[in-house]
Chains A and B, each alone.
Chain A
Amino acid sequence: GQQVQQSPASLVLQEGENAELQCNFSTSLNSMQWFYQRPGGSLVSLFYNPSGTKHSGRLTSTTVIKERRSSLHISSSQTTDSGTYLCALERTNAYKVIFGKGTHLHVLP
């Protein structure tokens, strides 16, 4: 089965609303990395988070290994936040990373 599951698959918000993106995993994890994928395909690294909570501006990442989940919280969403968010699970003691299918976020003005 799928080792990394992202939810929701898509999300539509009004500007100013908050967003909670989830990534659940079923295999051993060394760390979780969150990316924003630009429309052209290139990736912007948002967080590298092995455990606990990290903040960057309006973004917060929380990884809870015991519960096998990682989340990305976007507060006070803006239209420029629209796009695809990817989580990527780094396997333990391996040079392998498994990506989720992504959450497509659309923020309406």
Chain B
Amino acid sequence: AQTIHQWPVAEIKAVGSPLSLGCTIKGKSSPNLYWYWQATGGTLQQLFYSITVGQVESVVQLNLSASRPKDDQFILSTEKLLLSHSGFYLCAWSRDRTNTGQLYFGEGSKLTVL
């Protein structure tokens, strides 16, 4: 069975500090990987997707970057956090080859920027 693990569960960070959020998928080779973000009370927005190692596509620009250093790992980062980065970050994977297909989400990471 496939599992998806996100880390950290929660972070409280200062404006201007760096950030790194991660997720790992086990039990599925070459998954499509996604990052989503939801501001408190807001709508879930897709930030990035990756269909292969080393390649990441941006969907929404939020002064964040993403990388896929390994087949099973997806990293979201920034060197300088903004207040507007606060919210809930979700990583997801899917298996379809030409579309997104059914999405499977991790438990999420809550980020508070002060």
Taking Cβ atoms with an 8 Å cutoff, the residues of A that contact B are 30-31, 33, 35, 40-43, 45, 48, 86, 88, 90-102
Taking Cβ atoms with an 8 Å cutoff, the residues of B that contact A are 32, 34, 36, 38, 43-46, 49, 51, 57, 59, 88, 90, 98-108, 110
Contact A94–B99 (Cβ < 8 Å): yes
| Contact A45 B32, CB 8 Å, known A99-B45, A100-B43 | no
The distance in angstroms between the C-alpha atoms of A109 and B99, with both chains bound, is 42
Contact B43–A95 (Cβ < 8 Å): no
With A42-B107, A88-B44 known, 20 other A-B pairs at CB within 8 A are A30-B99, A31-B101, A40-B108, A41-B88, A42-B90, A42-B106, A42-B108, A43-B105, A45-B105, A48-B102, A88-B103, A90-B99, A90-B101, A91-B100, A94-B100, A95-B34, A95-B49, A96-B59, A96-B100, A99-B45
Cross-interface CB contact of B103 among A33, A41, A91, A92, cutoff 8 Å: A33
Contact A93–B99 (Cβ < 8 Å): yes
The distance in angstroms between the C-alpha atoms of A100 and B103, with both chains bound, is 15
The distance in angstroms between the C-alpha atoms of A92 and B38, with both chains bound, is 23
